[in-house]
Every structure is written in structure tokens, then in C-alpha cells.
Structure 1
Amino acid sequence: MTPRDASDDSRWSDLDRPPLNAPALRRALVRDGGHGGLWCDVDVVQRTGSTNSDLVARAVNGTAEEGAVLVAEEQTSGRGRLDRQWTAPPRSGLFFSVLLKPKGVPVSRWGWLPLLTGVAVATGLSRAAGVDTALKWPNDLLVTVGGEERKAGGILAERAGDDAIVVGVGINVTLREDELPVPAAGSLALAGAVTTDRDPLLRAVLRALESWYGRWERAGGDPAASGLQETYAAGCATLGRAVRAELPGDRSIEGEAVAVDGDGRLVIATEEGVQEPVGAGDIVHLRPA
């Protein structure tokens, strides 16, 4: 596709991809008078480099508070894990970041937030789009297209000062086969979504995120007491599979992914009989579940 100008004059150039309705999103999601729900602001911009970078900057300079949501119709420098680039045509997906300041939760448990967000995204999309989704550890959203597993979304969490964390989400919604960045990518449309209207999809995901974040925060970040650990494991496509973990320092291990431990790490049982927890790295699924 040829790049489109993001000015207001061209916002309706692709009628299959209408713009988000920012006022309606704010009415549906933003807490009334500072009371009630988590979300305090929903800001929709036409184009930016990275919603994560922008929201981290706002948090650090004090212009954003907990519950701020920043959504972009187009990201020109979207980032995934390991500094991978994330690109998609304008208005073809949901690209947003949220600012969280977990209260009463030890920083040692903040590593659960990307996994919590994955559970929320999968829950919201299942309800609103009718798409069966699965989670690849630690932060990829998988859908099934033509009987094969494909990545349709990803999550990236970044610290924003001492007391805040920004979690970014990218979801391919209407990408067609000829628009996919790589053959292993997918989209909700290709997976047979009952709707690709991004407004109800975003509302569903943010409501699910608010619900799960509240449960986790009230439990002091305890993944077992909040039900997060069990729910994540139930929806994790990585468990029960033969995997290869490509680790920092050019090291890799192979074995069966057998559990997600209390720290959110993937536990791999190797042929040598060792159970090794992996907290960072790239996971390759070697065979179907």
C-alpha cells in the first residue's frame, strides 16, 4: 500500500478503515469526575512514532497520571520486544499504551503486568470479536488463520520513573494477506472476526484490562491469589510444547515448556532432567501442542 497523509482531509480515504470515535470512547471509558474506574483520559492522535515513548515522556514530565490511555491511528516507529519494529497501515489496527502506577504491589511483581495485559487482551477480543486467541510466552497474541498459528499482536512494558509503568499494545485488526509484514503474521480479520469495528474492540480490551488490573492490585500483585497465574497458564499456547529459548549472551536451551512460575518466568524441562526458569529471551515453538 502507498503511504497516506494523516491530515484530517484524508482521514476518510479508506472507508473500510474509519477513524476511531474519540469522544465516544471517552464517554464510555473515562471515570466520571475522577471517581470510579481506572481510565482518566483517552487521547487519540492521528500519527506518532511510538505511543509508548510518548506516554513514558508524559509520565516523566508529570503531564499524565495513572489511567491515561494514548491511542494512535498510525505508528511510524512502533516497537516490540528486543527492539523489533512494528509497522502497519493507518487505522488497520489498535495501537495504544496505558499508564499504570501499581499501589501496594512490590516492584518485584511488576513483571506480571505484560502477562496480565495479555490475558486482558485475549479476554476482550474473545468477547468482542469472537476470535479464539492464545498467548505465546511472554507477550505475543496468537490467532488461527487457515489452520495455522499466527501472531496478531504484541505487548511491550517500559518503566516510567520510579513509580510508574507504561504498557503498550499492538493488535492487527484489518490487515489483509498482502499487507502482512511477515508470512507468520495474522490479523483478526484473517482469523474470521465477527466484527473489525475498532471502537468496541478497544472498549472491550480496556474494560478487561481494568478488571484484571484491579484484581491483581487488590491482591498485592500476588499472581496466585488474584487468579492471574492460573488464567494465564490456561490460555498460554507455549505450555506443553517443545520449545527453544534463545537467551541473552548467544545461549539457547531446548526442552518442554512445563509451567509459568510465581515470578512469571517460563519453566523449561530439558532432556537432562533440569527444570530451568527463563525470565528473558525469545521462545521458538518447535512443534504444535
Structure 2
Amino acid sequence: MWSDLERPPLRAVALRRALLAPVGPYAALDVVAIVPSTNTALADAARAGAPDRTVLVAEHQSAGRGRAAHSWVAPARSGLALSVLLRLTEVPQARWSWLPLLVGVVLCRTVSALGEIPVALKWPNDLLLGAHQRKAAGILAEVVPGGPAVVVGIGLNVTLRPDELPVPGATSLAIEQAACTDRDPLLRALLRALDTELRQWCQHRGDPITSGLHEAYRKHCATLGERVRVELPGQPELIGTAEDIDTEGRLVVLADGQRRALSVGDVTHVRPVNGA
């Protein structure tokens, strides 16, 4: 078992001092001991009028959610589980599909800089670590009905041991021997990098080309060039080569001589043909 010294709680007061206005870019930041889902809780807060750039961090999620209704489970204080409320008045809603990809780029840059380990992205929203490219983080963006608001959730495995991993293909910063497994500097760096990337993206009204986001995502995406097996709900699976990410953030797959552009909502799973 890990002790409180090995998995200390986040320093909420210091985080707020560093990240909240007027010093930092965020309007509110709460650290709670336990919550079923940070995305669900922050979406409720958004409907109640919570401001843009509100952050909710949980030391433990009892019912964390990933994409396609997958669960996200980790022991208390073993990772980062957070959600950020964004009221994107500058960006047309048609471009909001780029948000989880943007966060993926931010995660890659943050973990690479602090962790000093190989990082990559699996389309659309998984952070892969190490030489074997195992999953260490996921991203879930959800639109909040009733206003121009999106809640972006991030789950990052930090100090999980092999016996604590939720699935065989997962990993953590500690398992990959990252240079930093201290959650406080990781969270500060992640949120600052997110602000920087968001400002650039919003200045370009969400345009993935002129903002540089499209190029940055393609640079980090390990899915490109792979032979992939794509599971589509209610359709036969698709096997082909992942050729590109288009300007809408869709994965372009060449299969049977035809190119298909697949959006996140179209796909249940994308896996390498020779992998898990």
C-alpha cells in the first residue's frame, strides 16, 4: 500500500495562488476529496452559472467516465482527475470537435517536458507513454446544453503500480520511470499549457490550420501510418491505413481503395491491426 507521504494530497491553496486571477488565467479552482465524476459535477455547476475557466479536481473519482461510456478508475491520489469549464464565445461550435485533440497536444507537451519520456497520441484522445506506447491518459469533452459551454475532462495515471492498472494495456508515469511524478507541478504545468494553447486557438477562432493545432496534432499522432482496425457501431469493422487527420479532426482511413473520414462519434474503437 502507498502511504500519505508517497501519495500526498494536492496543495489546493498553493494551486489556487498560482493559477487563479489576477496572477493566473483561471476563474475558480476547487480540489475535492471524492466525486462520482468531475465532468458531471462541473457540468452541473456550468448550468448553475459557473464562470469560464472554472477547474474541478478530484483526489478520487468513484464513477469516472471515458469516451464511449468506458469507466476510468484509479486509487485515490494516484493520478490527476480534473475537468475544465470553457465558455468558447470566440470559437464557432462546428470547431469544438478539435478541443479533445487540443488537450491531447497539451498533455503530450506537458508530460514530455516534465516526465522526460517518450509520448504520443492515439487518435482521438489517448496519451501513450514509453517504447511500448501504453495508455496513461484519456480525455472526454462534453457540450453543456443551454449555452456556449464545454466541459473537458482529463484523467492521467501518475503513480499507479502494475497491479493497480485498470486494464493490461495501460501504464502510468511511475511505471515508465518519468522524471516527475509529483502531481502539483504536473497540474500547474498542464493548466498553464492548456491556457496558452487555448488562447492561440481562440485568437484564430478555432481554425486548426492557422492556429497551428492541426500540424501539432499530426506531429504527435502515432495512429498515422498504421494499419488499423476500426469498430463502427452497427456496421462491419473497417481495416485500412490511417493516412491523415483532416481539418475537422477526423481520422482519414484508406480501406479497399477508398478514403473514409471518421469522426469521434462514428467510432467505437480504433486499434492497430497487429496490436491491442
TM superposition score normalised by structure 1: 0.91
Aligned residues of 2:229 and 2:270 also touching (Cα < 8 A)? yes
Q: Is 2:43 aligned against 1:56?
A: yes
CA distance in 2: counterparts of 1:128 and 1:72, whole angstroms? 21
Q: Paired residue for 2:225?
A: 240
Q: Paired residue for 1:175?
A: 160
CA distance in 1: counterparts of 2:4 and 2:223, whole angstroms? 37
> Higher mean Cα deviation, 43-52 or 126-135?
126-135
Query: What letter corresponds to residue 102 of structure 1 in structure 2?
Result: L
> Higher mean Cα deviation, 199-208 or 124-133?
124-133
Query: What letter corresponds to residue 45 of structure 1 in structure 2?
Result: V
Aligned residues of 1:124 and 1:207 also touching (Cα < 8 A)? no
Unmatched tracts of structure 2, length 5 or more: none
Q: How far off its partner does 1:240 sit?
A: 0.6
Q: CA RMSD in A?
A: 1.4
- Corresponding residue to 2:261 among 270, 273, 277: 277
- Corresponding residue to 1:265 among 236, 239, 250: 250
Q: Paired residue for 2:106?
A: 120
Q: How far off its partner does 1:250 sit?
A: 3.6
Q: Is 2:94 aligned against 1:108?
A: yes
Q: Is 2:18 aligned against 1:28?
A: yes
Aligned residues of 2:79 and 2:157 also touching (Cα < 8 A)? yes
- Corresponding residue to 1:157 among 128, 131, 141: 141
Query: What letter corresponds to residue 31 of structure 1 in structure 2?
Result: A
SS in 2 for 1:155: strand
Q: How far off its partner does 1:37 sit?
A: 4.8
CA distance in 2: counterparts of 1:256 and 1:264, whole angstroms? 16
Q: Paired residue for 1:17?
A: 7
Unmatched tracts of structure 1, length 5 or more: 2-11
Q: Is 2:120 aligned against 1:130?
A: no
Aligned residues of 1:125 and 1:204 also touching (Cα < 8 A)? no
Number of residue-to-residue matches in the alignment:
271
Query: What letter corresponds to residue 19 of structure 1 in structure 2?
Result: P
* Same amino acid, percent of matched pairs: 51
CA distance in 2: counterparts of 1:109 and 1:17, whole angstroms? 38
Q: Extract structure 1 runs of 4+ deviating beyond 6 A.
A: none
CA distance in 2: counterparts of 1:108 and 1:286, whole angstroms? 31
Aligned residues of 1:258 and 1:269 also touching (Cα < 8 A)? yes
Which whole-Å deviations, capped at 9, do the CAs of 1:163-214 have from their partners, x for residues lacking one? 1000000000000011111110100111111121000000111111101111
Aligned residues of 1:94 and 1:198 also touching (Cα < 8 A)? yes
Structure-to-structure mapping, 1:133-152, within 5 angstroms: 133-144=119-130, 147-152=131-136
TM superposition score normalised by structure 2: 0.95
CA distance in 2: counterparts of 1:24 and 1:131, whole angstroms? 27
Q: Is 2:245 aligned against 1:255?
A: no
Aligned residues of 2:34 and 2:61 also touching (Cα < 8 A)? yes
Q: Paired residue for 1:185?
A: 170
Aligned residues of 2:63 and 2:72 also touching (Cα < 8 A)? yes
Query: What letter corresponds to residue 209 of structure 1 in structure 2?
Result: L
CA distance in 2: counterparts of 1:47 and 1:165, whole angstroms? 22
